[in-house]
Structure 1
Amino acid sequence: MKNRRNFLKRSAAGLGFISLPFLSKKTSASEMKIVLQNSYIHHVYFWLKEPKSKEACQRFEEGLQLLVTIPEIKLYHIGKAVLSNRDVVDDSFTYSYMAVFNSKADQDNYQVHPTHLKFIEKYGDLWEKVIVYDAL
């Protein structure tokens, strides 16, 4: 048990150290690239059926929080569309979800993970459209 506690303490300290660049306003793009280099990016855009429904949004966000517990996910970001008057910006989606994996194999495991399948089954009735962009 003592070894497990030490491991958890060291892991937490390491995560704190690793996350410092993300929290600093002085983080440069080149520092971020080091973290994401050679990673598999899975970016999903959702258009909810009722994007103005507070209940639907809360329920969907609950589902996303469940989804990000899948162990293969290295980093993730959940966001909402930002309205823009720029022609090159597509702000028509409701939610953006990005998951970063160490490899395509990890992403493949994520696709068949019971939590991912549960997310689709339990929350799939909330969206009318989904677009996925995957990149290395």
Structure 2
Amino acid sequence: MTDRSRRDILLAATTLAVGATATGARAAASTPAGKAAFPPVVHHVFFWLKNPESSEDLAALLAGLRTLAGIDTVRGIHIGVPADTEQRGVVDGSYSASELLFFDDVAGQDAYQIHPIHKQFVADCEHLWERVVVYDVKAVAP
């Protein structure tokens, strides 16, 4: 599988995750008039650890990712590891962990990038990963 097709698959998975969030329990609650049922900007990051067999490195990365919830512009956060789903040609479970963050707008995502908590996370954890792939997704009207 090419890097391009992997990116396309991961982008599609991110879009599906946004849709699942939009139609989930939160969407069942009433939404004020004029407000979207889900945040319009999604930041999805995949991490590949240098030592993928190290449970200590994974635990340190996950702990670092949890700190990002303390950033005021983050509207929602989902941190996870590859699920034990059926392995098909379109499923890429090669990453070690991922974060899915939701923002009200691009300005909120920009503020997140320079926030001291995010900078501290990078400083504390960047030695753990060998590769990071980021997908920033803007919602489109249904």
The TM-score range, normalised by the shorter chain, is 0.7 to 0.9
Tell me, in whole angstroms, the C-alpha distance in 2 between the residues paired with 1:96 and 1:108.
Answer: 19
Q: What is the correspondence of 1:31-50 to structure 2 with a 5 Å cutoff?
A: 35-36=37-38, 39-50=40-51
Q: CA deviation at 1:52?
A: 1.8
Q: Which amino acid aligns with 2:67?
A: L
**TM-score with structure 2 length normalisation?**
0.70
Correspondence for 2:106: 104
- What is the percent sequence identity of the aligned residues? 37
Q: CA deviation at 1:73?
A: 0.4
Tell me, in whole angstroms, the C-alpha distance in 1 between the residues paired with 2:60 and 2:66.
Answer: 10
Correspondence for 2:74: 73
Correspondence for 1:125: 127
Correspondence for 1:3: none
Correspondence for 1:16: none
Q: Aligned match of 1:21 in 17, 20, 25?
A: 25
Structure 2 portions without partners, runs of 5+: 1-23
Correspondence for 1:114: 116
Q: Which amino acid aligns with 1:71?
A: D
Tell me, in whole angstroms, the C-alpha distance in 2 between the residues paired with 1:99 and 1:107.
Answer: 9
Partner SS for 2:77: strand
Q: CA deviation at 1:56?
A: 0.7
Structure 1 portions without partners, runs of 5+: 1-19
Q: Which amino acid aligns with 1:122?
A: D
Partner SS for 1:36: coil
Tell me, in whole angstroms, the C-alpha distance in 1 between the residues paired with 2:68 and 2:128.
Answer: 15
**TM-score with structure 1 length normalisation?**
0.73
Correspondence for 1:12: none
Q: Return structure 1 stretches of 4+ with deviation > 6 angstroms.
A: none
Contact 2:67 2:117 in 1 (8 A): yes
Contact 2:62 2:97 in 1 (8 A): no
Q: Which amino acid aligns with 1:128?
A: E
Structure 1 residues 6-57: Cα deviation after superposition (integer angstroms, max 9, x where no partner): xxxxxxxxxxxxxx925xxxx78xx9xx5315x1000000001112211111
Q: Relative to total residues, which structure has the larger helix share, 1 or 2?
A: 1
Correspondence for 2:17: none
Tell me, in whole angstroms, the C-alpha distance in 2 between the residues paired with 1:135 and 1:55.
Answer: 31
Partner SS for 1:78: strand
Question: How many residues matched?
Answer: 108
Correspondence for 1:57: 58
